Amino acid sequence: MAEVATLELASVSRQYGDDAPIHALKNVDLRVERGEWVAIEGPSGSGKSTLLNILGCLDRPTSGSYLFKGLDVGALGDRERGGLRSRHIAFVFQSFHLLAHRSVVENVMLAEVYQRGSRRERRARAEAILDRVGLSHRFDYLPSKLSGGERQRVAIARALLGSRDVLLCDEPTGNLDTATGLAIMELLAGLHAEGLTIVMITHSPELAMIASRQVRIVDGELSDGSSAHGLSDYAPLEAWVPLEAADGGADGWPTDSLRLVGPLIEGTRVREGPAHGADVESSTGSDAGGS
């Protein structure tokens, strides 16, 4: 018997308005298995956020069905959907949404503020998850004292506090520079390697390539990402050159888990070559001459 998918959409559509309706999603079929990392890539206004909101139980489809681990989400009331969301789904957004007057550990602890248990227990769990994302040295810092990448790590830690089945990421590198964004992608790769199911929306075909599967959305319609934007134009992950450490604190990249370079740096593309020392050329064909 086949395993039940973690997320499954069947003929899902979302329409806004009646007089001049906007069809944000059109008959979308999507199946996400447990432990997959799926990137949904598309331009602005393509329906990415609408799709993510439905997957996260923040919105309802106009038609079609949504099953979460076999459970028909459409049959649930608002309170039940809220309970499903709070217990099983984690969110990471483009904006970090941290409270400026609260420390790093307090921001993470807020994820469990309505749950039973002592403050000491909540702090211990918050510190453990912050250590997991590499921020054990920043527990008592205010967000204003952190870099952009560190603030996004805090947001990821807060999202993952407690037991979650799925991490939904809405342009998680959108407010970060390229190198820092890659550090966040490296973190997501590590979480995926631990078995976390991840769905990420992005406008970048290059960032989408890092995920284990890509789909593309245009005008509310989903298609296979590999054929949609020519991933064969880029070297495979095994041929990518590791970047220097980013975000002002990491002492190296675990390049055995993920190699990041060229296609993710603006205007460059990696030629086929060994994992270390591959040639990099600009998108116009001239030599890049380094980074």
At 254-264, the pLDDT tens digits run 333 343 333 33
Residue with the larger pLDDT of the pair 266 and 115: 115
The mean-pLDDT minimum among 30-39, 77-86, 201-210, 222-231 falls in 222-231
**Angle at CA of residue 54, ends 211 and 4, nearest 5°:** 65
List, for residues 176-198, the tens digit of each pLDDT value.
888 888 889 999 999 999 999 99
Q: Residue 38 — very low, low, confident or very high, per pLDDT cuts 50/70/90? A: very high
Confidence of residue 95 (pLDDT cuts 50, 70, 90): confident
Q: Please give the pLDDT value at position 201.
A: 93
> Is the pLDDT score of 290 beyond 90?
no
* Residue 242: pLDDT over 50: no
**What pTM did the predictor assign?**
0.75
Q: Which domains are delineated in the chain?
A: 7-233 (3.40.50.300), 234-291 (no CATH)
Residues 6+ apart with CB under 8 A from 131: none
**Strand, helix or coil at 284?**
coil
Rounded CA-CA distance 83/79 in Å is 6
Rounded-to-integer distance, Cα 229 and Cα 168, Å: 22
The residue count for the chain: 291
Report d(CA 208, CA 276) in Å as an integer. Answer: 22
Beta carbons within 8 Å of 149's beta carbon, 6+ residues apart:
176, 180, 181, 183, 184, 246, 247
Tally of CB atoms within 10 A around 160: 19
Q: Letter for the amino acid at 20?
A: A
Q: Confidence class of residue 100 from pLDDT cuts 50, 70 and 90?
A: very high
pLDDT beyond 90 at 32: yes
The DSSP element (H or E) to which 198 belongs, if any, is strand 197-202
What's the whole-number average pLDDT of the chain? 78
Which of 6-15, 144-153, 222-231, 252-261 bottoms out in mean pLDDT, i.e. has the lowest?
252-261
Per-residue pLDDT, 219? 93
CB contact at 8 A, 138 and 130: yes
What tokens does 165 get? 């089945």
Identity of the amino acid at 122? R
Per-residue pLDDT band for 251 (boundaries 50, 70, 90) equals very low
Cα–Cα dist 45/234, whole Å: 26
Higher pLDDT, 30 or 264: 30
pLDDT for position 86: 86
Return the DSSP state at 246: -
- The span from the CA of 208 to the CA of 17, in Å, is 31
Provide the CA 117 distance to its chain's centre, in angstroms: 29
Asked if pLDDT for residue 147 goes beyond 60, the answer is yes
Judged against a pLDDT cut of 80, whether residue 88 lies above it is answered with yes
Give the pair of three-digit tokens for residue 180: 């820092």
